[in-house]
Amino acid sequence: MKILVTGATRGIGRAIADKLSEIGKIFVTGRNETLLKSIPYIEDYCVCDLTQDITQLIDFIKTNEIDVLVNNAGEYIYSPIDKINDKDVEKIYNTNLISPVKLISSAVPHMKSQQWGKIINIGSISGVMGEAGASLYSSTKSGLIGLTKALALELAEYNITVNTINPGWVDTDLGSNSIEDGDFSKEEIIQCIPQRRFVEPKEIAALVKYLISEEAKGITGQSINICAGLSVGI
């Protein structure tokens, strides 16, 4: 099984790559070549910035005939809607939504040919509930959910499943940075989470591993929240 994880150098992506290395050959992509090369178990890597030209990554996917695609790489921008600029819009939409569409498109022909494939999109609870001050981020993650539902229908006859995992607050560098950009402290945020904790990357990785297993073959088109109860209420 050949598995590609985008944004695999740290945080959620690295945890997913670590976990899936137990069951398949791991291919990774990210912006930092030094960090990519430091991952000990990888078959190969592709240096790529999803905000730029991704032609090389598309070719990488086709050449390696990827069986499992995990669209994990993401950008977060916290800004009032009247303060955003064109650069912000292009950066976050290219990374969070447009690039995943293009990568899925490049991976699907091989999956169809072998009548099997798994596509996992890493969304966000902000795409389910909305987040004031992060409308660009929320809208891209909502877009992933819609994409997942449509593709699950389109690809079901080829034995290809498509699902989205929506993490809440996760104990990662991205989570910490988003707190710094926002209006609330970590302690204040934790008080709004029913379990009073941040989700750990390994929890998301374990769910990804399950979704690509034979036991989960009937799960497709789903948007699964893993948020310590945040989506339920306070």
Q: How far apart are CA 137 and CA 155, in angstroms?
A: 27
Q: How many CA atoms lie within 13 A of 207 on its CB side?
A: 23
Which pair of structure tokens corresponds to residue 111? 């999956």
Q: How far apart are CA 125 and CA 226, in angstroms?
A: 8
- Catalogue the active-site residues: 137
Say if residues 7 and 73 touch (Cβ distance below 8 Å): yes
Going through 14-80 in order, the beta strands assigned E by DSSP cover 25-30, 44-47, 68-71
Whether the CA torsion 2, 6, 9, 10 is positive or negative: it is negative
**Cβ neighbours of residue 54 under 8 Å, at least 6 residues apart?**
48, 99, 102, 103
Residue type for position 211? L
